[in-house]
Structure 1
Amino acid sequence: MTEAAELPPAPEQAREVFGERFTDAVRYAELLADAGVRRGLIGPREVPRLWERHLLNCAVLSEVVPEGVTVCDVGSGAGLPGIPLALVRPDLKITLLEPLLRRTNFLTEVVELLGLDHVTVMRGRAEEVMGKFQPVHVVTARAVAPLDRLAAWGVPLLRPYGEMLALKGDTAEEEVKAARAALSKLGAVKTSVLHVGEGVVDPLSTVVRVEVGESPGGVRFAAKRAKAARATRASRGRRR
């Protein structure tokens, strides 16, 4: 068995970013380094860089999230970026959406332990909750899937004129180019690559912002409506 790496002390930037919730951020980091590793939610090699690569990298996403909006963190996993975002932004109403039971159990424990009353944990896949889920202003995601697939899951969860914010790496620009046609079909009206976290993280965190228009989900919603209409007509025909 690989010996667990030691969690380094929180950097000074963490005190500035998390402010009054700094102690809770430390507790969350400790949970990730301990239970998170034991339950296979995070690799043991990530422990030495939990602060810079994970907590702070996710927390600076708050720089581009509007005030007082609803957020769904798709494929939340161990709570990244949803938990750090919740710690720095109590004005947000956040849903952590995750399909795996062992992860939702961990997320529920974290939310209760840290007293994050503005956070809800929901078990399920994005494509399964469509139609059962109140659309949100913002969808967030990190390391879930390539942009075209991620958008197919996340964009239909948005309200009209909402936006998806995906934390990406060095290939963000290439992913945007490759996904341009798919994004257009989903109702995206603007896609941009942003860099956030100046003075906090190095390198800066890269965020792909996908903004939608009046009809998020585009042809996907249209196809579902058409399929439902065909089923209704067929049912009426059988009754006749």
Structure 2
Amino acid sequence: MSPVDSEVALPSESVKEFFGSSFANMNRYAQMLADQGELRGLLGPRELPRLWPRHLLNCAAAEKFLPLGRNVTVADVGSGAGLPGVVLAIMRPDLQFYLIEPLARRSKWLEEVKQELQLKNVEVLRSRSQDLPPDQKFSAVTSRAVASLKKLVRISGKLVAPGGRMLAIKGEKAPQELAEAQEELMAAKLESAHIEEVPSLMDDSITRIIMATKRG
């Protein structure tokens, strides 16, 4: 056990039950983040004690809002450490995930995670979302801590396929961001934008997800 391990709050039994068959891989991912996250500039030292509630569970809250059906593709914009892309890919092996990350060192990390966890449903795209081919569309586009909703819609709203969803994991300012991004949402043909709130299984925090659907 490394010195970092003692700093990471262990998941409760309810968390293990929540992840079910995906818990073993999720725990391996948590260990990789605990061992290398700070060293590689993916997480700050203050984040390690709350790795499970603040990061893994926070990301997992979006899983139930992903589209269902065959040939569903999910793009995670600004994937960074793999939050939420890797978390969701572990939980949903039936969906195809594309982790979009422009920085070489973070793309390298994502490739290592993919190999270590044997995530056959993941492809890492070293690119900015706005540089992808204009005809490349996805059933869902996820993001977390990338940019304000106004900017996020401008740079990644075009990636959402008609009828697809945008899922942006946000903090306490989600209502303000949603109110300020109405013009951008309309321009991107993203409708029925609203906030979903999901209580944490480990503390009293709440995950706020701004969800919108592409017209068409």
Q: Same fold (TM over 0.5)?
A: yes
Q: Secondary structure at the match of 1:25?
A: helix
Give the deviation of 1:185 after TM superposition: 1.2
Name the structure 2 match of 1:114.
Answer: 117
Q: Give the helix-richer structure, 1 or 2.
A: 1
- 8 Å Cα contact 1:63-1:196 kept in structure 2: no
Equivalent of 1:81, from 84, 93, 116? 84
Q: Which amino acid aligns with 1:187?
A: K
- 8 Å Cα contact 1:11-1:51 kept in structure 2: no
Aligned CA distance change for structure 1 residues 48 and 200 (closer, same or farther; 3 Å): closer
| CA distance in 2 between partners of 1:13 and 1:136 (Å) | 32
Give the deviation of 1:34 after TM superposition: 1.5
Name the structure 2 match of 1:217.
Answer: none
Structure 2: 5+ residue stretches without partners: none
Name the structure 2 match of 1:38.
Answer: 39
Give the deviation of 1:125 after TM superposition: 0.3
Structure 1: 5+ residue stretches without partners: 215-240
Name the structure 2 match of 1:57.
Answer: 58
Percentage of identical aligned residues: 43
Higher relative contact order, structure no. (Cα contacts within 8 Å, ≥ 6 residues apart): 2
Per-residue CA deviation, residues 74-132 of structure 1 (Å, 9 max, x unaligned), is: 0000000011111111121111000001001001100111111011111010111142x
Q: Which amino acid aligns with 2:32?
A: L
Q: What does residue range 1-240 of structure 1 map to in structure 2 within 5 Å?
A: 6-68=7-69, 69-131=72-134, 134-197=136-199, 199=201, 202-214=204-216
Q: Which moved more, 1:120-129 or 1:195-204?
A: 195-204
- 8 Å Cα contact 1:107-1:121 kept in structure 2: yes
- Residues matched between the structures, number: 211
- 8 Å Cα contact 1:57-1:201 kept in structure 2: no
Q: Secondary structure at the match of 1:37?
A: coil
| CA distance in 2 between partners of 1:130 and 1:197 (Å) | 37
TM-score norm. by structure 2 comes to: 0.92
- 8 Å Cα contact 1:10-1:26 kept in structure 2: no
Q: Which amino acid aligns with 2:168?
A: A
Root-mean-square deviation (Å): 1.7
